[in-house]
């Protein structure tokens, strides 16, 4: 198999796109022995995920990956054997033209956003010809079923997770992590926690989550509110964030990357989906909840659905929804491990490599 891969990533906002691309690039290099070049137009965002990256350099190497700045004026560059266009970021025109001039065009894949919607299965691995160039692009959809591309999962991650769990000290309080968008009803959630009187520690991510907490409570933290301790935490690398998820009894996550990592953590989680202007995110959220809860009994399924919806849409009954969700959490602990093991049977990077191998 020809082994040179280019991944193009445009950092739109937040860290989801670059988070996924950075994981994929590292895994392709480390587990499949591929020469990977990652083109990024926002090196500052990658620097937060990987502090060894120097955002001032145009080219550098880290974790076996060649990292290149994606400039506005793209240089003449020899295309790779496989070209990954992440999340429809649109390849540079000069690069596309170079792809079309070769005697054997590269395998061109558009890595799509993750969705649990049923239509994804019918669109996964479909090809589309370029309107003017002798090229075709294949759409590769991550997903939750065998008819999709699956999810990113590094080799040995579950063994690392389980070994880490053996090192955790016993705790009588509920350990929680909070990572959300600024539209999350954080104030209502904190008020619900204060009313329960349950011993809790919530570790709050910087940026939008901490801003929402600070806006509600004032000051700069940490905050001790009866049995509730709220602690700000620094920005974490991807490996450190995994360990945070593993150390908690409940994780609030958002977007795509942390959403998947919470499922690999195999503990209860609550997901805030990325909001879309056309309200399509409600459909996407409903599709995931349908898949995630279909093997749960009705009381647990209802509690999960109600709390996820309250977290994403707001609700005047947050106290009750939290109480119902908290009551079924022991069941979700057992369910989470089975769910993670089931999803792990369909690993995205391996599927992507095998797909491209068949096209070269």
Asked if residue 205 and residue 161 are part of one domain, the reply reads yes
Per-residue pLDDT tens for 242-290?
999 999 999 999 999 999 999 999 999 999 998 887 778 899 999 999 9
What is the share, in percent, of the chain residues with pLDDT greater than 90?
A: 92
Q: How many CB atoms lie within 10 A of CB 105?
A: 18
Asked if residue 101 and residue 45 are part of one domain, the reply reads yes
Asked if residue 100 and residue 210 are part of one domain, the reply reads no
The token pair that represents 188 in the structure block:
């209502």
Asked if residue 208 and residue 168 are part of one domain, the reply reads yes
Asked if residue 164 and residue 128 are part of one domain, the reply reads no
Asked if residue 72 and residue 115 are part of one domain, the reply reads yes
Smallest CA-to-CA distance from 288 within 87, 120, 88 is with: 120
User: Are 182 and 309 spatial neighbours (Cβ–Cβ below 8 Å)?
Assistant: no
Asked if residue 216 and residue 191 are part of one domain, the reply reads yes
Instruction: Give me the number of domains the chain comprises.
Output: 2
Distance CA 67, CA 26 (A): 11
85, 112, 256, 347: the catalytic one is 256
Q: What is the mean pLDDT of the chain?
A: 95
Smallest CA-to-CA distance from 90 within 75, 103, 108, 115 is with: 108
Say what the pLDDT of residue 2 is. Answer: 58
* Domain ranges, residue 170: 157-343
The token pair that represents 88 in the structure block:
């429809």
Q: Please, which pLDDT band fits residue 321 given cuts at 50, 70 and 90?
A: very high
Can 240 be counted among the known catalytic residues? no
Can 256 be counted among the known catalytic residues? yes
6, 17, 300, 347: the catalytic one is 17
Asked if residue 278 and residue 188 are part of one domain, the reply reads yes
Distance CA 284, CA 116 (A): 7
Asked if residue 102 and residue 228 are part of one domain, the reply reads no
Per-residue pLDDT tens for 73-93?
999 999 999 999 999 999 999
Say what the pLDDT of residue 204 is. Answer: 98
Asked if residue 212 and residue 127 are part of one domain, the reply reads no
List the single range of 271-280, 325-334, 335-344 with lowest mean pLDDT. 271-280
Residue 199 belongs to domain with CATH number: 3.40.50.2000
Distance CA 243, CA 161 (A): 8
Asked if residue 116 and residue 37 are part of one domain, the reply reads yes
Quote the pTM value: 0.95
Per-residue pLDDT tens for 160-185?
999 999 999 988 999 999 999 999 99
Q: Please, which pLDDT band fits residue 212 given cuts at 50, 70 and 90?
A: very high
Q: Give mean pLDDT, residues 14-30.
A: 93
Asked if residue 94 and residue 13 are part of one domain, the reply reads yes
């Amino acid at each position: 198999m020809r082994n040179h891969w280019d991944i193009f990533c445009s950092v739109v906002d937040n860290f989801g796109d670059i988070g996924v691309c950075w994981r994929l690039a590292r895994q392709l290099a480390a587990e499949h022995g591929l020469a990977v070049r990652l083109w990024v137009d926002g090196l500052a965002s990658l620097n937060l995920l990987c502090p060894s990256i120097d955002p001032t350099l145009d080219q550098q190497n880290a974790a076996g990956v060649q990292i290149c700045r994606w400039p506005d004026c793209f240089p003449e560059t020899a295309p790779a054997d496989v070209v990954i266009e992440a999340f429809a970021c649109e390849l540079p025109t000069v690069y596309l033209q170079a792809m079309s001039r070769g005697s054997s065009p590269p395998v061109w894949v558009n890595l799509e956003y993750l969705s649990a919607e049923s239509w994804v299965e019918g669109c996964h691995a479909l090809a589309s010809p370029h309107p003017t160039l002798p090229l075709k692009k294949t759409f590769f959809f991550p997903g939750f079923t065998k008819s999709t591309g699956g999810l990113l999962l590094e080799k040995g991650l579950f063994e690392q997770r389980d070994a880490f769990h053996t090192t955790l000290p016993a705790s009588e309080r509920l350990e929680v992590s909070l990572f959300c968008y600024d539209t999350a009803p954080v104030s209502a959630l904190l008020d619900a926690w204060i009313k329960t009187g349950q011993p809790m520690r919530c570790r709050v991510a910087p940026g939008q989550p901490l801003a929402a907490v600070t806006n509600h409570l004032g000051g700069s933290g940490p905050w001790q509110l009866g049995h509730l301790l709220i602690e700000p935490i620094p920005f974490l690398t991807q490996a450190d964030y995994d360990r945070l998820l593993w150390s908690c009894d409940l994780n609030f996550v958002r977007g795509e990357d942390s959403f998947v990592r919470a499922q690999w953590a195999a503990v209860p989680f609550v997901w805030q989906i990325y909001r879309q202007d056309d309200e399509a995110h409600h459909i996407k959220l409903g599709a995931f909840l349908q898949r995630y809860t279909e093997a749960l009994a009705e009381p647990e399924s209802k509690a999960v659905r109600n709390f996820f919806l309250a977290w994403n849409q707001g609700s005047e009954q947050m106290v009750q929804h939290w109480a119902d969700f908290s009551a079924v959490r022991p069941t979700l602990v057992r369910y989470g491990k089975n769910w993670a093991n089931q999803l792990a049977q369909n690993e995205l990077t391996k599927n992507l490599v095998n797909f491209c191998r068949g096209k070269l």
